[in-house]
Structure 1
Amino acid sequence: MVVRKLEVFGIPLPEITPGTDLARTIVESANRLGIGIRDGDVIVVTSKVVSKAMGLLVKISDVRPSTKARIIARILGKPAWEVELILRNSKRILGAFPAHMLLKHSTILNYISRDRDRALKVIESDRYLMIVDVGYRVATDAGIDTSNVPSGYVCLPPSDPDRVARGIRDRIRELTGCDVAVILSDTEGSVLRVGSLDIAIGASGIVPVTAKFGESDRFGKSKYGGVDLIADELCATAALLMGQTGESIPVVLIRGLNYERSNLELGRFRVPRGLLLKALMLGILISVVIRFLLAIFSVVDLLRGRW
């Protein structure tokens, strides 16, 4: 039996400022740790450190909210400057999620926070999450973030993560001669549980999604599935070392993965927005019909039981 293993290395970086050669900094930091860069490594980089290097920090006091942003902010209980930046960096507003209702009026907060009073203040300062289409993905609050940036500033995500990943990969090859895969990660809320996951928003050098839909399983049956989100799974793995608060590990190197190399961009695997909305509407309609039919059968069964 062949034993398979992956090695996962967290790579701390010095403070990144606009204009920093991020690829060079990653290579030098990996060398300093004694792990270096090898051919076939997968390098996961947080989008935030990329944004810092690209100078995508905005001073909050410089943001002038429009009347539209102020009205929406009042309705949603969000800072007006934040709504303005969300509107500027979104292709389309899809909806809003009442996070305060889920967290404040349930026992969930007791399990996800060690300081309930502090958590409640955070909830009250930003009661709704805006669900928007930013062009390359659906994101909460357009991917805008205030954590791990200087006070009074906010971080905007890169507008073309695939291009950025390709640029970092090319620069690492230039510096080391090694062909690696580069994945840009960002943190997004989970729809299954209260919490978040790190997902891939850009990739280069790796097939980000396996193409095994319909292939045979161990018993020869065609499988309804087999499409692994490889890039997302690698980001989730990297997040175990990166953390989200004060860990200061914005880069993770994963070594030992046998993956298919490719120049396919992550954006090619996105479900078209129009098709997604139609599927959701059809799904809601079918759900209503099924619930209606079940209610009718329940009444019929009840009447049969009486007679």
Structure 2
Amino acid sequence: MSSSLSLTVLPDFPLVEPGDDLAELIVRCCEQADMSLQDGDVLALAQKIVSKAENRYAYFNDVEPSEAALKLASETAKDPRQVELILRESNEVVRQRPGAIIVEHREGYVHANAGIDASNIHSDPDNPRVLLLPKDSNASSRALRNALRERLGVNLNILINDSAGRAWRNGTCGFALGSAGFEALVSRIGDADLYGRPLEITQIGVADELAAAASFLMGQADEGAPVVLIRGAELRPSEQGCETLIRPRSEDMFR
């Protein structure tokens, strides 16, 4: 268990454009800030800069809404073109009401609007664009981890986070979309509590807890802080990503 944790925003991180090398941008930003990365550090990245680098933009003028999108748009008071993109990025619609569409994203997690939005991106009013989530957030995390290891010779842990609302509480909170290098879900089943009783169901969403901490520094508006260095977390190495955090449908009591 970690006894202390430090989180530091990489200062003056540049705006990201399609095709940018995130590893190079991170290295350059660390050099300019006289920051060094160490084995075991976690780099938490806001989903948007990963999506931007991967050119995950979608332009409304290129979208032809389907009949299903037109129907759902009329029921939820949303632009049919956005709804079409949501359906393309989703396995199923879980819940809907005017102004909100909750879906199971094709990567498995339940998310509002499939994580698609237009905040913090420049858009032409004559051809609005939105940003989709990365195609494979775990693969993006692994690729960045490998690239930074090649450049710096250090074994880092990578976390890609986003923010979402929660079923029983107001406000958004950071959660993990993808990870690399560490165990995202840690089971404590069988471990003893303070009084020696074995834990029966306790699992810790380590990646989500780190994502929430990083999201607090990243902010949700004009903070311009998309990369956070987390130091001091004692993590279990793993080749798995955040897929372990997704509850199997058979155990989901709310669908």
Give the TM-score normalised by the residue count of structure 2.
Answer: 0.92
Provide structure 1 residue ranges, at least 5 long, that are not aligned to the other structure. 99-126, 282-307
Is the partner of 2:211 in helix, strand or coil? helix
1:198-244 residue CA offsets vs partner (Å, 9 max, x unmatched): 10011100111112123111210112343211100001110111001
- Answer whether contact 1:42 1:181 (CA < 8 A) is retained: yes
Per residue, is there more helix in 1 or in 2? 1
- Answer whether contact 1:95 1:132 (CA < 8 A) is retained: no
What's the CA shift for 1:5?
2.1
- Answer whether contact 1:93 1:132 (CA < 8 A) is retained: yes
Counterpart code for 2:195: F
Q: Map of 1:63-142 to 2, 5 A cutoff?
A: 63-97=63-97, 127-142=99-114
In 1, Cα distance between equivalents of 2:50 and 2:221: 17
Counterpart of 2:6? Answer: 7
Counterpart of 2:140? Answer: 164
Is the partner of 2:182 in helix, strand or coil? coil
What's the CA shift for 1:131?
2.7
1:231-258 residue CA offsets vs partner (Å, 9 max, x unmatched): 0000111011100110011110101212
Larger deviation, residues 247-256 vs 86-95: 86-95
In 1, Cα distance between equivalents of 2:101 and 2:68: 17
Is the partner of 2:14 in helix, strand or coil? coil
In 1, Cα distance between equivalents of 2:237 and 2:14: 30
Is the partner of 2:107 in helix, strand or coil? coil
How much is the aligned-residue C-alpha RMSD, in angstroms?
1.7
Which residue of 211, 219, 224 corresponds with 1:243?
A: 219
* 2:119 paired with 1:143: no
What's the CA shift for 1:192?
2.3
Per residue, is there more strand in 1 or in 2? 2
Q: Percent identity?
A: 33
In 1, Cα distance between equivalents of 2:241 and 2:154: 20
In 2, Cα distance between equivalents of 1:263 and 1:90: 26
What's the CA shift for 1:167?
0.4
Give the TM-score normalised by the residue count of structure 1.
Answer: 0.77
In 2, Cα distance between equivalents of 1:266 and 1:235: 11
Provide structure 2 residue ranges, at least 5 long, that are not aligned to the other structure. none
- Answer whether contact 1:131 1:139 (CA < 8 A) is retained: yes
- Answer whether contact 1:97 1:131 (CA < 8 A) is retained: no
In 2, Cα distance between equivalents of 1:271 and 1:6: 28
- Say which one has the larger Rg: 1
In 1, Cα distance between equivalents of 2:187 and 2:142: 22
Is the partner of 1:129 in helix, strand or coil? strand
Counterpart of 1:42? Answer: 42
Q: Map of 1:275-290 to 2, 5 A cutoff?
A: 275-277=250-252, 279-280=253-254
- Answer whether contact 2:173 2:212 (CA < 8 A) is retained: yes
- Answer whether contact 2:89 2:105 (CA < 8 A) is retained: no
Is the partner of 2:238 in helix, strand or coil? coil
What's the CA shift for 1:71?
1.9
Counterpart of 2:32? Answer: 32
Q: 1:133 to 1:19 in 2, by over 3 A?
A: closer
1:51-84 residue CA offsets vs partner (Å, 9 max, x unmatched): 0000101122322222321221011111111101
* 2:184 paired with 1:208: yes
In 1, Cα distance between equivalents of 2:64 and 2:184: 39
* 2:157 paired with 1:181: yes
